[in-house]
Amino acid sequence: MFIENIGATLTKFASKNPNAWFKDLLTGVAIPNATAVGTMVMYGEFFFATSVLLSVLAIFGGVRDRWALWLLGVGLLGLAVMNLTFWLAAGWTSSSTDSLNVLMFAVEVVGLWLVYRSLMAKS
């Protein structure tokens, strides 16, 4: 259902988007390839969220290996890019969409900074 309706959603996001360059990206790349974009979003959400969940469970479970931190960093970076992209596409639609995506992006950036500090401390 998500992938079938993604073209209409992207068209709505592009309709009054205040960022001309992002509107051009939506209309020139994303909308003509809506099925592929929808599939990438679906799998990206799954894989990045799973990597964050597994790494957090490993860290809280006592695993202090670098792989858990790297997995957490990859997941947070992927989610931050996805959040930023969604904010650029739909942040103009409502104040709650705007503020919530900025908050989630900020949390992910702080998490990335903490992962970076932890990795540098283990060097």
Q: Which pLDDT score is estimated for 1? A: 67
Indicate if the pLDDT at residue 119 is higher than 70.
Answer: yes
Helix/strand number for the chain, H first, E second: 5, 0
Q: In the predicted model, what is the mean pLDDT of the chain?
A: 94
Question: Distance between CA atoms of 87 and 69, rounded to whole angstroms?
Answer: 26
Maximum pairwise Cα distance, the chain: 49
pLDDT band at 94 (very low <50, low <70, confident <90, very high): very high
pTM above 0.85, yes or no: yes
Q: What is the pLDDT of residues 4-25, one digit of tens each?
A: 899 999 999 999 999 999 999 9
In angstroms, how far is CA 11 from the centroid of its own chain? 20
